[in-house]
């Protein structure tokens, strides 16, 4: 019986927890015992799924939390430690006391989750507006590297110590009957198209205090809402996440806006998988991956170039009043792929020659006509929707053939035995 300790210490995003859970929960209970180490805010996620865990309180500070982790490792005596992901854990050391240097002292094999093919990027993330940092090559210190697919792809050229697994273990598509039941429970009118949008607390953090980014953060809900309103068709927008949009109900047109600050995992999944369309500005969103596994059409709003609205005055005259006001307030925008994080250059490697990019539609957020055209297509053009869903199904069928988490552990066990 192998004991696996899965450490997830990101306190602002649940994506790393989802990846860690999907790996750990699918290990054979006859072969592996799994325990999670998480921030206290994510305890309910594991409780609802019946997982064994130890939690850390971010307010207790590094000394107390490091002592808890040390006692846990010494008493639990794991055979493997899985880090999901290694860089968010390193960032957490200020409150958790946990670092790669600390974990290496236990001489326990470390499996590091590589969400974005960091090994191909020189560990140099670029942030919105052009700021960048050089991260230490922590994945090189891991005994094995685990990549979740999607977002990653199982490349033939990758190092032998890199192992890939399917983020989800099955097709997640709901039946038509179940979708209708969920929509009725939510109160979505039968006449309305249902669009889902999810947000996280990290999306309201302006890491480098950029005025233009602060203004874009302020404007994004209005931008998305006005695009939907300008379609002039009955739509229910279900927004799951903090920071309810400040929308004048008298200015909504045919758009009905619903906000749920929190849904439990089952409710969230059913809401997502019952929608007609999922929209996001974050191409690395784990929710995007889940929507694709559920055969939900997806639009990923991106921006691939610097835009100075002051140089586009003639074009702006052709745009609605709200768009002109937005352009005047924001003034300029910079490239991004992962929402307000940016990561325009960082994600080039993992998205290159990656069939995952065929499973959703990329739309440039500030191209007014293109946005309306694509929204219209994926809400009402059945031929377009069918083609996209076929691409999703084809992709899913390939990814599901990857080695399972248990097979990865078995492979590692065999490789270590042969050394």
Tokens representing residue 57 in the block = 């309180």
pTM of the full structure:
0.95
Q: What is the pLDDT of residue 266?
A: 92
pLDDT digits (tens, 9 = 90+) for 283-332: 999 999 999 999 999 999 999 999 999 999 999 999 999 999 999 999 99
What letter would DSSP give residue 24? H
| Alpha helices (H) in 259-354, listed in sequence order | 265-272, 286-293, 313-316, 321-330, 348-351
CB 306 within 8 A of CB 335: yes
User: Which residues, 6+ apart, have CB-to-CB distance to 320 below 8 Å?
Assistant: 226, 230, 368
Closest CA to 269 of 22, 3, 75, 2: 22
Long-range pairs of 61-69 with CB within 8 A, sequence gap ≥ 24: 61/95, 62/93, 62/94, 62/95, 62/96, 62/97, 63/97, 65/95, 65/96, 65/97, 65/98, 66/96, 66/97, 66/98, 66/102, 67/97, 69/37, 69/96, 69/97, 69/98, 69/102
Q: Which domains does the chain have, with CATH numbers?
A: 2-167+401-418 (3.40.50.2000), 176-399 (3.40.50.2000)
The per-residue b/e assignment along 18-38, b for 16 or more CB within 10 angstroms, e otherwise, is: bbbbbbbbbbeeeebebbbbb
What letter would DSSP give residue 282? B
Q: What is the pLDDT of residue 217?
A: 95
Q: In terms of C-beta density within 10 A (0-12 exposed, 13-18 middle, 19 or more buried), how is residue 9 classed? A: buried
Residue identified by tokens 């670029």 is: 126
Q: What is the pLDDT of residue 418?
A: 84
Q: What is the pLDDT of residue 250?
A: 64
pLDDT digits (tens, 9 = 90+) for 396-415: 999 999 999 999 999 999 98
Q: What are the pLDDT tens digits along the chain (419 aa)? A: 999 999 999 987 889 999 999 999 999 999 999 999 999 999 999 999 999 999 999 999 999 999 999 999 999 999 999 999 899 999 999 999 999 999 999 999 999 999 999 878 877 899 999 888 888 999 999 999 999 999 999 987 778 899 999 999 999 999 999 999 999 999 999 999 999 999 987 777 787 788 999 999 999 999 999 999 999 999 999 999 998 998 876 678 899 999 999 999 899 999 999 999 999 999 999 999 999 999 999 999 999 999 999 999 999 999 999 999 999 999 999 999 999 999 999 999 999 999 999 999 999 999 999 999 999 999 999 999 999 999 999 999 999 999 999 999 999 999 888 87
Find the helix or strand (DSSP H, E) in which 239 lies: strand 235-240
Q: What is the pLDDT of residue 416?
A: 87
Q: How far apart are CA 326 and CA 279, in angstroms?
A: 20
Between the CA of residue 406 and those of 77, 163, 402, what are the distances in Å?
A: 19, 12, 11
Q: What is the pLDDT of residue 122?
A: 79
Q: How far apart are CA 89 and CA 99, in angstroms?
A: 7
Q: What is the pLDDT of residue 338?
A: 95
């Amino acid at each position: 019986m192998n004991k696996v300790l899965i450490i997830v210490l990101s306190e602002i995003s649940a994506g790393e927890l989802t990846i860690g859970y999907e790996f750990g929960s699918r290990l054979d209970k006859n072969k592996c015992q799994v325990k999670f180490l998480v921030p206290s805010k994510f305890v309910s996620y594991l409780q609802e799924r019946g997982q064994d865990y130890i939690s850390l309180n971010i307010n207790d500070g590094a000394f107390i939390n490091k002592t808890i982790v040390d006692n846990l490792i010494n008493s639990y005596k794991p055979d493997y430690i899985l880090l999901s992901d290694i860089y968010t854990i390193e960032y957490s050391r200020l409150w958790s006391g946990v670092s790669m240097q600390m974990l290496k002292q236990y001489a326990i094999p470390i499996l590091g989750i590589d969400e974005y093919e960091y090994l191909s990027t020189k560990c140099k993330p670029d942030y919105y507006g052009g700021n960048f940092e050089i991260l230490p090559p922590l994945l090189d210190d891991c005994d094995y590297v685990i990549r979740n697919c999607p977002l990653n792809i199982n490349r033939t050229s990758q190092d032998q110590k890199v192992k890939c697994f399917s983020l989800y273990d099955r097709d997640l598509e709901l039946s038509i009957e179940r979708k209708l039941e969920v929509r009725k429970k939510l109160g979505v009118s039968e006449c309305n198209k249902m669009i889902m949008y999810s947000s996280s607390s990290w999306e309201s953090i302006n890491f480098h205090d950029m005025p233009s980014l602060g203004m874009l953060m302020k404007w994004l809900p209005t931008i998305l809402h006005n695009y939907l309103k300008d379609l002039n068709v009955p739509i229910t927008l279900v927004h799951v996440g903090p920071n309810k949009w400040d929308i004048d109900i008298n200015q909504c047109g045919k758009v009905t806006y619903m906000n749920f600050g929190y849904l439990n995992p089952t409710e969230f999944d059913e809401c997502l998988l019952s929608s007609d369309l999922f929209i996001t500005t974050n191409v690395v969103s784990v929710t995007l991956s889940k929507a694709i596994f559920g055969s939900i059409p997806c639009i990923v709003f991106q921006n691939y170039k610097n835009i100075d609205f002051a140089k586009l005055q003639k074009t702006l005259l052709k745009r609605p009043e709200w768009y002109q006001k937005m352009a005047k307030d924001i003034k300029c925008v910079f490239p991004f792929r992962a929402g307000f994080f940016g990561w325009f250059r960082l994600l080039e490697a993992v998205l290159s020659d990656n069939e995952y990019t065929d499973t959703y539609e990329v739309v440039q957020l500030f191209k007014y006509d293109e946005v309306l055209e694509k929204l219209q297509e994926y809400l009402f053009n059945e031929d377009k929707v069918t083609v996209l869903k076929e691409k999703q199904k084809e992709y899913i069928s390939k990814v599901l053939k990857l080695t399972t988490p248990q097979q990865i552990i078995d492979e590692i066990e065999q490789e270590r035995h042969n050394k």
